[in-house]
Amino acid sequence: MDKEKRLKELVALLNEASKAYYQKDTEIMSNLEYDRLYDELVALEEETGITLANSPTVNVGYEVLSELPKQAHPSPMLSLDKTKEVETLKSWLGSHEGVLSWKLDGLTVVLTYENGELMNAVTRGNGEIGEVITNNAKTFENLPRRIPYKDRLIIRGEAVIKYSDFNKMNEEIADSEEKYKNPRNLCSGSVRQLNNEITAKRHVNFFAFSMVADVLNDTEIENIGFDNTVISRFDWLSKQGFDVVEHYTVDADTIADKVAFFAEKITNHDVPSDGLVLSYNDIAYGKSLGTTAKFPRDSIAFKWADELAETTLLEVEWSPSRTGLINPVAIFSPVELEGTTVSRASLHNVSILRALRLGLNDKITVYKANMIIPQVAENLTGSDNLVIPDKCPACEGDTTLKDENGVQVLFCTNPDCPAKQIKGFAHFVSRNAMNIDGMSEATLEKFIDKGIIRSLPDLFHLDRHKDMIVNMEGFGEKSYDNIIASVNTARTVPMAKFIYSLGIAGIGLANAKVIVAHFDADFDKIINAGVEELTAIDGIGEVLAQAFFDFFHSEEKLKLVNDLLLEITFEKEAEKGDQTLDGKVFVITGGVEHFANRDELKEYIEKLGGKVTGSVSAKTNYLINNDVTSNSSKNKKARELNIPILSEEDFIKLAKG
């Protein structure tokens, strides 16, 4: 092996991984893989005597990339040396008393208080210069804006988003591709926002873990009221109103039990953590030890020795996404890890897959990163016979390997790949379109990955893939039956909703209804309408008319429509009732009680000849809001324009004439 060449490769790969993690809030390799490569680099540097200027073993971090102001820290923020062995912690501690605490997985922030007021907040940045995020820090949910202590105080801590808050935010996002990846990435992006209103909505918490002792002399420490120990400072910070990291005093005899206590607790711990921190309780002693070029000697990090399980690689599933990226996923014989059964793990990219030298039926070890995310640790066989697919599993289009900053990734080259058209599928099945329940974007992506659906008509033939669907992860007989029932219900659909479901540029459901009404629900007339005829319809301008005309005069689109018409029938148009709301313009706001949702109320208004818009204007006739007396912006606007505000009961009376 060319050791110098390998050394350079490792420096480039580790720097790219750090850059992705700290600057772009993404991960291109697991922590275990990073640690393994880092240790290999350290050994090579010792063996060769060569240390490159940009080696991660001598550089703390990267320059921050942001429009936020920059600021130097009062003293450098170094990384911690680390170990995965409890015996190493015992040896490091020796006869001294230590303090063991969580190593939180968020974004490190330095806070400065003066005269009891929060004056400044700066991110860790590259350890010497960080980003000023003072306005954002003032929105942290548990951070005191004012404290009893009136002299200058500088503390360090971790900004985090709890798993419970993270999960709630993700539950509100229907688009699986848009869901946040993990709490750390979300926290990093939230803390560094230019608009602190966004930060405030992200439920960021702050946990203090140290004071910047260099700015305090012995007299100040005595006046503050604590001794020169880590524990006393934690206690004092708690009295000032700060939440501090959970911590305990330990010695060489008790540390193993306390590590086990934390290890058991992390499986259900709401605050993200990627390990523990052990510090000498005696601050003066720890400070006297000084630092290395990269690490302080008063503390050490403990990374979890992940529970490993040996299993057999059954297959590598290639999962395409809407960006064209095709991700490799390892499928292996189920094993128990950290109390749960796992059978699959992301391989991230082709570079990592090749580095593991994977082949079918290889014996591999797997673990859960931070006891949560399944990862492949090592390949014990190394047959290295996997073939990178030259065809996309979703569309059978050609694939290509791309080099992205030294990392090889696989892409689908077909612009019409259904995996890239996921938004179109999601729109087609949405409530205001075909309304196929149970067909979330996550489910659509799984069906596309498996080749179950490649075009919209395939949604009506899921029964051809029953065995595959029933045996897919997260599915079963009941899930399959529910989806099939929903698909069958969708076979009868209002014509306007079908037209809306096709995703014609600019054509919303309201426009579709107007068009259907204009042509008296004659579908042949609708699809053959000319631009001039369409522009004669109230509300349909030239741009919309042209888009509508172009869609139905595309040979490809027309074939799609005709294929879909073989699967569906149009719901008989309801007889027009008395047009008691003819020409009236309504705005709906707030919750509804007498209708299933606002869409149902909107349909009722339109059936009676009325029109619903999104904002209050001089053209609005009525605002419907059950909270008639509220001071919402729409209520205020309606009052300014002398527009009546109706409760649902008032509206129903009006509608009945």
Q: Give the Å distances, CA to CA, from 353 to 181, 327, 358, 644.
A: 21, 10, 7, 65
- Distance CA(228)–CA(639), nearest Å, equals 64
β 70-72/129-131 pair status: antiparallel
Q: Give the Å distances, CA to CA, from 642 to 136, 191, 509, 629, 638.
A: 40, 43, 29, 14, 6
Neighbours of 125 (CB within 10 A): 25
DSSP state, 81?
P
DSSP state, 470?
H
Q: Which two tokens stand for residue 73?
A: 């820290």
Q: Which two tokens stand for residue 405?
A: 């900053």
> Is residue 454 within a helix (H) or strand (E), and if so which, with residue range?
none
- Distance CA(145)–CA(167), nearest Å, equals 27
What is the largest distance, in Å, between two alpha-carbon atoms of the chain? 91
**In sequence order, what are the residues at sequence separation of 6 or more whose Cβ sits closer than 8 angstroms to the Cβ of residue 311?**
332, 333, 334, 335, 363, 364, 365, 366
Asked whether 343 and 333 are in contact (CB, 8 A), the reply is yes
User: Residue 228 — φ and ψ, nearest 5°?
Assistant: -90, 55
Q: Which two tokens stand for residue 500?
A: 């809306």
Is 559 in the active site?
no
Q: Give the Å distances, CA to CA, from 204 to 79, 455, 582, 591, 595.
A: 23, 42, 50, 29, 37
3-class DSSP string for 122-150: EECCCCCEEEECHHHHCCCCCCCCECCCC
3-class DSSP string for 243-280: CECCEEEECCCCHHHHHHHHHHHHHHCCCCEEEEEEEE
Q: Which two tokens stand for residue 488?
A: 């069958």
DSSP state, 342?
E
Q: Which two tokens stand for residue 45?
A: 């540097």
- Distance CA(187)–CA(191), nearest Å, equals 6
Q: Which two tokens stand for residue 24?
A: 């772009």
Strand blocks (E) in 132-227: 153-161, 204-211
Q: Which of 103, 368, 602, 634 is catalytic?
A: 103
Asked whether 167 and 155 are in contact (CB, 8 A), the reply is no
Neighbours of 47 (CB within 10 A): 10
> Is residue 413 within a helix (H) or strand (E), and if so which, with residue range?
none
Q: Which two tokens stand for residue 61?
A: 């971090």
DSSP state, 455?
S
- Distance CA(518)–CA(450), nearest Å, equals 42
Q: Which two tokens stand for residue 206?
A: 């702050």
Closest CA to 610 of 618, 619, 602: 602
- Distance CA(622)–CA(610), nearest Å, equals 11
Residue 87 CB burial class (10 angstroms; 0-12, 13-18, ≥19):
exposed
What residues are annotated to the active site? 103
